[in-house]
Structure 1
Amino acid sequence: MTDNINPSHYKDGPFECIELSRLLSSDWGQAVQYCFRWQHKNGVEDLKKALWFINDAIDHNVPPIAARSGENACASHAKADRLLEILATENWANLERFWRELKHGTAWTARLALAEKINEIEKEGK
């Protein structure tokens, strides 16, 4: 039976996508969801949608990690870092560089990594 509310392309990873996306700001959470599923749903179109959300976040100075205060902020950052490291280590969705840049780099380097991946895929004709 198909679950249209919480489909398998969000659950089949090393963890459920929502575990990471709920820690992120809205634009970045949307981008991560599109990146998480791109190989199982709409292909490169999903990566382009993710790039749109990243561009919107950059244009509006929205940081990747959702704004929180106090101890919750530290715990959220630590958990997001841990989950991004898992995705990078496993090269989840063949986006290892994107996950690493999102964890260690800046919004701009994460954007660049995704844009380069889109160009690579389009050159290969996938």
Structure 2
Amino acid sequence: MSDNVNHPKHYENGPFECIELSRLLSSDWGQVVQYCFRWQHKNGVEDLKKALWFINDALKHSVPPIAAWNSEDACDSKAKADTLLGILATGNWADLGRFWLEFERGTPWSVRRALTEKINEIEKEGK
């Protein structure tokens, strides 16, 4: 039986449960991950556009991707997040391989560019 409150299928069907990554990130960036993680199983390209909104909000307000209480926690969180993002990039999870790779290795602006290009590609193909 499906449990859409505690264990929604659209967050569990990946190589790990989405919350494992999103809890390491600041609020805006955690939302980005959640929308991108589920887009193919919930609201389609609309979810990618919502993720882009959160990226733009984070950039506008200088919100860093990693949320931590101190620099030691930030280093641990970044290392864990990079590992999980690497898994998503390598597996091309949700057909967003470049996006996950940019999230792991790039800048917030390159993450934005990768997602924008993916949205444009999907809309051009009419998916």
**Could you say which residue in structure 2 is the equivalent of 1:3?**
3
Structure 1 residue 68 corresponds to structure 2 residue 73? no
**Could you say which residue in structure 1 is the equivalent of 2:53?**
52
Deviation readout 1:59-98 (Å, 9 max, x if unpaired): 0000111133143221111100000000000000000111
Question: In terms of mean alpha carbon deviation, does 24-33 or 70-79 score higher?
Answer: 70-79
Alpha-carbon distance in 2 for matches of 1:52, 1:70? 28
Alpha-carbon distance in 2 for matches of 1:57, 1:70? 20
Alpha-carbon distance in 1 for matches of 2:115, 2:69? 26
Question: How far off its partner does 1:31 sit?
Answer: 0.7
Partner secondary structure for residue 104 of structure 2: helix
Residue type at the aligned position of 1:60: H
Q: Which runs of 5+ in 2 are unaligned?
A: none
TM (norm. structure 1) is: 0.97
TM (norm. structure 2) is: 0.96
Counting aligned pairs with the same residue, the percent is 76
Q: Which runs of 5+ in 1 are unaligned?
A: none
Between the two proteins, the alignment pairs up a number of residues equal to: 126
Please say if residues 68 and 77 of structure 2, whose CA atoms lie closer than 8 Å, have aligned partners that are also in contact.
no
Coordinate RMSD, CA, aligned: 0.9
Partner secondary structure for residue 122 of structure 2: helix
> Structure 1: which 4+ aligned runs deviate by more than 6 Å?
none
Question: How far off its partner does 1:56 sit?
Answer: 0.2
Question: How far off its partner does 1:2 sit?
Answer: 2.0
